A and B are shown apart, each in its own frame.
Chain A
Amino acid sequence: MAKTATSAFKKSSNWVVQAILIFGVLVTIFPFVWVALMGTHSRSDIFSSPPPFYVGDRLMENYAKLLEIMPFWTVLGNSLFVSVLGTLGAVLFCSMCAYGFFAFDFRGKNIIFGIMVASMMVPPVLTLIPFFLTVKFLGILDTHFALWFPGVANAFGIFLIRQYMVTSITRDLLDAAKVDGASELRIYWSVVLPLIKPALATLAIVMFIGLWNNFLAPLIVISSPDKYVLTLALRSVQSLANSPWGAVMLGTFLSMVPLLLAFVFFSKQMMAGLTAGAVKG
């Protein structure tokens, strides 16, 4: 009797948990679906009451308008260029720095590492003005270089990869490679990099999303419209009177597609990297 009551309680609590989760999923994906739907409606439909929660017939019209108000594909290309270079650079340089912290003993190593980790606690907005001044001093204002290069060796990436190395690579492995005759660069390339793939994938996704969504840095660095990235371009057309919301929504949705694709392909590695070391394997 008691057993039946317990199993009934378990069943009902399962339902409650599932209902909460489904609600959470709906809340999370609603903005994406909403943006996609609004991209198929005209401005007047969007502001009608109740708003149209169905696929409209103004997709091509919005697309034509989008191309009219901004060089969409150029801007998308700019975003891709900045995000891909920044991601590749971060994966390469963060893993190299992390290898340095992991494999070498040098004076002040722990202090430097500590300062580096502490620097992650500084709110990024606080560094905006120094960032602008530095970029101006270096003469790289209004260049894409100023968007992707400064982040290629960032504290978060170095910390993430170094921690992953600590949990997944033994000292004996490095020693074995040394005795096998491998140089430090060879050990890094042939032994260490293949073993930290999940962490690299995690960093790549985090960096790509960060660079793709970056708004503040392009806002203060880029001034030429032909060098705009997506975030900046989409924002700039919103300031016009009588904003073409259908086109803006379509542009916003199209700008999310690369991220969604990246997540679909790399989510497994991303989870593996983020949970590495959490469970003893």
Chain B
Amino acid sequence: MASLELVNLSKTFGQVKVLHNLDLTVKEGEFLALVGPSGCGKSTLLRIIAGLDDASDGLVVMDGDDVSELSPRERNVAMVFQSYALYPHMTVEENIGFNLRISGLSKAEIASRVEEAAQTLDLTELLKRKPSQLSGGQRQRVAMGRALVRNPDAFLFDEPLSNLDAKLRVQMREEIKRLHKKVRTTSVYVTHDQIEAMTLADRIVIMKDGRIQQIGSPTELYREPNNAFVAGFIGSPAMNFLPGRLLFEGDDRFAVLTDGTRLAVTDERAGEIANNAAIQVGLRPEHLRVAAQGDGDHANRLAGTLDLIEPTGAQNHLKVSVCDQLLTVVDSQLVSLDIDQPVTLSIDPNQVYVFAAA
């Protein structure tokens, strides 16, 4: 296990700068997720940590040693790829033991370590098979076995679950979490799926356009997002945004929407934003209540019209038209409503987020 530190790291492809002076520390044994939309530079960052790509500027430091100039083989990191990248001509056993054979370990040592990794990942029965004879989940486990068998200083995961179906993805997510709990190896996990990041990681790094937007625990990011991008990225369904302006009335703060609706905002949420400044009002779908059903008696009320109901089983997702925009509301009470029916939504002032308009 090792700690990992990125110091003022930049990467440029031709004229295009894809990573901008990143500073990041991953503590020993920590599980860190890099999250962001496609093209934000998260996979590039992972490849730089692995040594597969060189940084244009800055350092990669592992356990206090600068490893920026070292090749992948010298860094002692293991990587799990999105495509699994198993060697098709080798059996599961040979795939898992490939690194050990290169390292020149004895046959007996290789066999015992492969066996141990196979047991951990429930692959013992499959050791003699070729990758083409395995299911997607089994291939993923072999890829993890190949990483695990080396006892690396760090695990790097590059969207390892994105080729699996939804059910298998949930199962593999649990397995990865269990595995990390057992081996406690420093891990960096790249994904564009915020649920995956939230459920797995100790801390999450949100990236956009090669810049870090915020670093924090899943709960911190959900509760205290730094900006509208982070707020919109974390949470499912995504946060609703409405344009407006911030109004000061004595000690009180209000978000005034385009139709004149006023929503009380706490000082904490208003932060440093000036009086009358243009803002984005953020309302999480699960914080909005349908007031007409007596389920929302908060001071903040928004009038709208029900446009659509999307039943998901345990809850309904309501699309409510407010200020000419559709807001998503999570209705856990499964109230009986009609399309085009006027509805009043309410929300606790503590849960009204405001961000300076871009």
A11 to B273 Cα, complex, angstroms: 84
Are A170 and B83 interface neighbours, CB within 8 A? yes
Q: B235 near A: Cβ within 8 Å?
A: no
* Chain B residues, Cβ within 8 Å of A183: 73
A262 contacts chain B at the CB level, 8 A cutoff: no
CB-CB under 8 A for A175 and B102, given A182-B73, A194-B89, A195-B89? no
Query: B74-82, B169-177, B225-233, B255-263: which lies at the A interface?
Result: B74-82
**Total residue contacts A-B, CB cutoff 8 A:** 55
Q: Nearest Cβ in chain A — how far from B236, in angstroms?
A: 29
Please give the distance in Å from A168's CB to the nearest CB on chain B: 9
Neighbour of B87 across the interface among A175, A186, A191, CB < 8 A: A191
How many positions in chain B have a CB within 8 Å of any CB in the partner chain?
Answer: 23
- Say which residue of B52, B72, B85 sits within 8 Å of A181 (CB atoms): B72
Chain A contact residues: over half helix, strand or loop, or mixed?
helix
Contact with A along B41-75 (1 / 0, CB 8 A): 00000010011100000000000000000011100
| Inter-subunit contact B87/A181 (CB<8 Å) | no
Chain A residues positioned under 8 Å from B146 (CB to CB): 176, 180
The verdict on B325 contacting chain A, using a C-beta distance below 8 Å, is no
In the assembled complex, the Cα of A234 lies from the Cα of B337 at a distance in Å of 96
> Assuming the A-B contacts A175-B52, A175-B81, A176-B81, are A181 and B89 also in contact, with contact meaning beta carbons closer than 8 angstroms in the complex?
no
A172: chain B residues within 8 A (beta carbon): 81-83, 85
Q: How far is the CB of A196 from chain B (nearest CB, A)?
A: 10
Name the contact of B98 in the complex, choosing from A170, A175, A180 (C-beta under 8 A): A180
- Interface residue? B351 (CB, 8 A): no
Q: Given A181-B72, A182-B73, do A176 and B103 touch, yes or no (CB 8 Å)?
A: no
* A179 on the B face (CB < 8 A): yes
Interface string of A191-208 (1 = CB under 8 A from B): 100110000000000000
Which residues of A sit under 8 angstroms from B52, Cβ to Cβ? 175, 178-179
* Contact yes or no, B77 A179, CB < 8 A: yes
CB distance from A169 to the nearest CB of B (A): 9
B88 interface residue (CB < 8 Å to A): yes
* Docked CA distance A186–B79 (Å): 19
Shortest distance from the beta carbon of A98 to any chain B beta carbon, whole Å? 18
Cβ contact of B102, chosen from A170, A180, A194, cutoff 8 A: A180
Would you call B305 an interface residue if the criterion is a C-beta within 8 Å of the partner chain's C-beta atoms? no
Within the complex, the shortest CB–CB distance from A14 to chain B, in Å, comes to: 36
Contact present for B88 and A195 (CB under 8 Å)? yes
Q: Is the CB of A181 within 8 A of B73?
A: yes
Given contacts A181-B99, A182-B102, contact A176 B89 (CB under 8 A): no
B contact residues around A190 at 8 Å (CB): 98
Interface centre among A178, A183, A194 (most CB of B within 10 A): A178
Question: What chain A residues lie within 8 Å of B87 (beta carbons)?
Answer: 173, 176-177, 191
Bound-state CA distance A181–B99 (Å) is 6
Residues of A contacting B78 in the complex (Cβ-Cβ under 8 angstroms): 179
Q: How far is the CA of A175 from the CA of B82 in the complex (A)?
A: 12
User: With a CB–CB cut-off of 8 A, which chain A residues contact B102?
Assistant: 180-182, 186
- A window 2-52: CB within 8 A of B: none
Specify the chain A residue showing the minimal Cβ separation from B87: A191
Residue of A nearest to B77 (CB): A179
- Best-buried of A176, A179, A186 by chain B (most CB within 10 Å): A179
- B83/A180 in contact, CB under 8 A: no
Q: Is the CB of B73 within 8 A of A176?
A: no
> In the complex, how many angstroms separate the beta carbon of B81 from the nearest chain A beta carbon?
5
State the CA gap A221–B308 with chains docked (Å). Answer: 85
The CA of A186 and the CA of B102, in the complex, are separated in Å by 9
**With contact pairs A181-B102, A182-B102, A186-B102 given, residues A176 and B71 touching in the complex (Cβ less than 8 Å):** no
Q: Is the CB of B73 within 8 A of A178?
A: yes
Beyond contacts A181-B72, A181-B73, A186-B102: 9 other A-B pairs, Cβ-Cβ < 8 A, are A172-B81, A173-B85, A175-B50, A177-B87, A179-B73, A181-B102, A181-B103, A191-B87, A195-B89
* 9 sampled A-B residue pairs with Cβ under 8 A: A172-B85, A176-B81, A177-B98, A179-B73, A180-B99, A180-B146, A186-B102, A194-B89, A195-B88
Across the A-B interface, the 7 shortest Cβ-Cβ residue pairs: A176-B85, A181-B73, A172-B85, A180-B99, A194-B89, A179-B79, A178-B72
- Residues in chain B within 8 A of chain A (CB atoms): 47, 50-52, 71-73, 77-79, 81-83, 85-89, 98-99, 102-103, 146
Interface residues of chain A, those whose CB is within 8 Å of chain B, are 170, 172-173, 175-183, 186, 190-191, 194-195
